[in-house]
Amino acid sequence: MCSFSKWYTFSVQADGGGKVYPKPLRHFWRGKVPSMASLATLGPHVYAFGGLTAGNPLQREIRECYRLRITPQVGKEFVPVSPMVCRRCSSDTSVLGNKIYLRSSLSQADLLNHCWGEVFDVDNGKWEALPNPPNYPVQDRESIVLSAVVENPERVIVAYRGSYNSAIFYAYNVRHRSWGRLVPAERWLHHDLCDDTDSWPGNCVSAGNTLYWIKREQDDLLFIAYDLDLNMWLKGCLKGHGMFFFRHDRYMDGGGCPPGFFHLEKQRFCLLQFAGHVDCIRCVVVDVSPMRGMKTLDIEVVCDQKYAMEPTMYPALAFCDIVREKIDNLEEKSTSKEA
């Protein structure tokens, strides 16, 4: 079962101030992608992992994987690569070096013969199953409240729900291929991550050994950060909601999709949101840094761009990522980082 999609690219200016681009972006590729597939960009390719296939009587997760070349020339279609170890859909994906890590979102039909995570080596095209986290609850996978991939050292982090607003943290050392507890193992979770009244924040974004989330907070956007080394939580709000249009996509009312959120470099992050009512992409680049001596994040907008889009039926922003090379078959070319 596949979904039809269009893919676009535009330059993300590091310090571009505010600018409107009235000429509609033109898609550089369109075609079918497996429904509920997990997507990741690495090198010159976009990869699609797993997804759902039409079944009788129920849909079923799949192992199949594909890749699409996007630089320097765009391929015509996704081509098959080695299938995953387990059936999955909508898994969390992270890139570390030349490998792509997939976590969770397994098939309900393979509870006794599955691995929680696996890693794909793009150099040799092979998959490797990760050992399950210690005391992994096969029948209660939702007890894992947090998972992430971090650098320095390269680790996969998971946290099991503990008592009240706490969790037990484990780390998988990529080099030694072994699990161990963090010290201390039991750590408090930020209350904004434990709020059951909100369906997200969802996946976190890592920068160094700090994890970041974004969350709706009344008319502002809340940034939450957790420093794994210092065992410290910080938060801050992006003030001035008037510059955003998220509420027009029902975002601030609890509907629609949350903004795309990803790390650019150092303390710099990017937020993307599609506003269907005006056929426009909004791209906001922010610097996020801790205020000295306080458990507060300073959020500074360094770039606010708006790109017109070609009219689209039933639009939705399904995937966004950074491509650090040019995509050549576009009418307008750019040497800046592209999203």
Q: Please state the domain count of the chain.
A: 1
Summarize the confidence of residues 316-339 as an average pLDDT.
Answer: 59
Alpha-carbon distance 25 to 143, whole Å? 42
Q: Domain for residue 54, yes or no? A: yes
- Predicted local distance difference test score (pLDDT) of residue 157: 96
Residues above pLDDT 90, as percent of the chain: 43
pLDDT tier, 314 (very low <50, low <70, confident <90, very high otherwise)? low
Q: Give the list of residues 6+ apart from residue 28 with CB closer than 8 angstroms, or none.
A: 7, 8, 9, 70, 74, 327, 329, 330
Residues above pLDDT 70, as percent of the chain: 78
Alpha-carbon distance 255 to 251, whole Å? 5
Determine how β-strand 297-309 pairs with β-strand 17-25: parallel
Alpha-carbon distance 261 to 321, whole Å? 9
Higher pLDDT, 188 or 255: 188
pLDDT, tens digit (0-9, with 9 covering 90-100), for 30-42:
999 988 899 999 9
| Statement: residue 246 has pLDDT above 60 | no
What residues are paired with 92 via a beta bridge? 103
pLDDT tier, 313 (very low <50, low <70, confident <90, very high otherwise)? low
Residue 69's domain comprises 35-129
Alpha-carbon distance 308 to 277, whole Å? 11
Q: Domain for residue 150, yes or no? A: no
Summarize the confidence of residues 137-150 as an average pLDDT.
Answer: 80
- Predicted local distance difference test score (pLDDT) of residue 289: 93
| CA nearest neighbour of 160 among 173, 174, 175, 171 | 171
pLDDT tier, 27 (very low <50, low <70, confident <90, very high otherwise)? confident
Among the listed ranges 260-269, 282-291, 318-327, which one has the minimum average pLDDT value?
Answer: 318-327
Alpha-carbon distance 12 to 269, whole Å? 11
Vertex 23 angle, CA 307 and 245, to 5°: 25
pLDDT tier, 85 (very low <50, low <70, confident <90, very high otherwise)? very high
- Predicted local distance difference test score (pLDDT) of residue 165: 86
Alpha-carbon distance 117 to 177, whole Å? 13
- Residue labelled with tokens 């009512």: 277
Q: Domain for residue 53, yes or no? A: yes
Q: Domain for residue 87, yes or no? A: yes
Alpha-carbon distance 217 to 224, whole Å? 11
Summarize the confidence of residues 252-258 as an average pLDDT.
Answer: 51
Vertex 304 angle, CA 303 and 309, to 5°: 135
Please return the burial class of 117, using the count of CB atoms within 10 Å of its CB with bins 0-12, 13-18 and 19+.
buried
Query: What is the side-by-side strand order in the sheet with 205-207?
Result: 205-207, 210-217, 220-227, 232-238
Q: Domain for residue 179, yes or no? A: no
DSSP 6-35: EE---B--TT-EEEEEEEEE--SEEEEEET
Q: Residue 72: is the preceding peptide bond cis (ω within 30°)?
A: yes
Is residue 202 a contact partner of residue 257, using CB atoms and an 8 Å limit?
no
| Statement: residue 322 has pLDDT above 70 | yes
Q: Domain for residue 49, yes or no? A: yes
| CA nearest neighbour of 200 among 231, 178, 221, 177 | 221
Summarize the confidence of residues 59-81 as an average pLDDT.
Answer: 91
Q: Domain for residue 91, yes or no? A: yes
Q: Domain for residue 52, yes or no? A: yes
- Predicted local distance difference test score (pLDDT) of residue 332: 38
